[in-house]
């Protein structure tokens, strides 16, 4: 039986855990260049973790980060409320199917409710059946199209 895990919301004092979280994302998403090779400096990460519009959570077993999520609180303009965009969620392969992703999302739901967030948004790629199954158990599915628009008109 696997040992229990703990879920924590990261603060500016949790820089080593944040760096493990980034490495976990790089491993799980098979994109170490993005997540591990050029990590921001401590000042940047501490400011991000202290921001009211960013949330990072880690699931740990002992000193090891085995699951993580990160995302953004999006203050709305049409009403005094916010949405939360769950940007990344990952669980190390050896620790899957043990309730870690669900526990991370449940803790996010608790924190989001306490902060007055009215909906948590997350997207899953076609073919990512485990993610689609998880999110279908926890929320309502909407089929939408996603577009990436470059920040400059010439695409550069």
- Residues of the chain below pLDDT 50: none
Give the pLDDT of residue 29: 94
CATH class assigned to 6-138: alpha beta
Give the pLDDT of residue 156: 60
Mean pLDDT of the chain: 89
Give the pLDDT of residue 74: 94
Contact between 43 and 55 (Cβ < 8 Å):
no
Q: Other CB atoms closer than 10 Å to residue 78's CB: what's the count?
A: 5
Give the pLDDT of residue 155: 62
Rounded Cα distance between 107 and 117, Å, is 13
Give the pLDDT of residue 137: 73
Give the pLDDT of residue 101: 94
Rounded Cα distance between 73 and 82, Å, is 6
Give the pLDDT of residue 126: 76
Give the position of tokens 């948004």.
121
């Amino acid at each position: 039986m696997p040992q229990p895990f703990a879920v924590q919301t990261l603060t500016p004092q949790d820089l080593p855990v944040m760096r493990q979280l980034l490495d976990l994302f790089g491993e799980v998403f098979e994109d170490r260049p993005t997540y591990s090779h050029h990590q921001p400096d401590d000042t940047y990460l501490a400011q991000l973790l202290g921001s009211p519009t960013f949330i990072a959570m880690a699931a740990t077993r002992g000193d090891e980060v085995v699951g993580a999520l990160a995302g953004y609180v999006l203050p709305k303009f049409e009403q005094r409320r916010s949405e939360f965009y769950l940007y990344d969620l990952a669980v190390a392969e050896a620790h899957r199917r043990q309730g870690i992703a669900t526990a991370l999302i449940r803790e996010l739901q608790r924190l989001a409710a306490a902060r007055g967030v009215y909906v948590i948004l997350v997207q899953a790629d076609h073919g990512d059946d485990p993610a689609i199954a998880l999110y279908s158990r926890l929320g309502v599915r909407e089929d939408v199209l996603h577009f990436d628009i470059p920040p400059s008109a010439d695409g550069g």
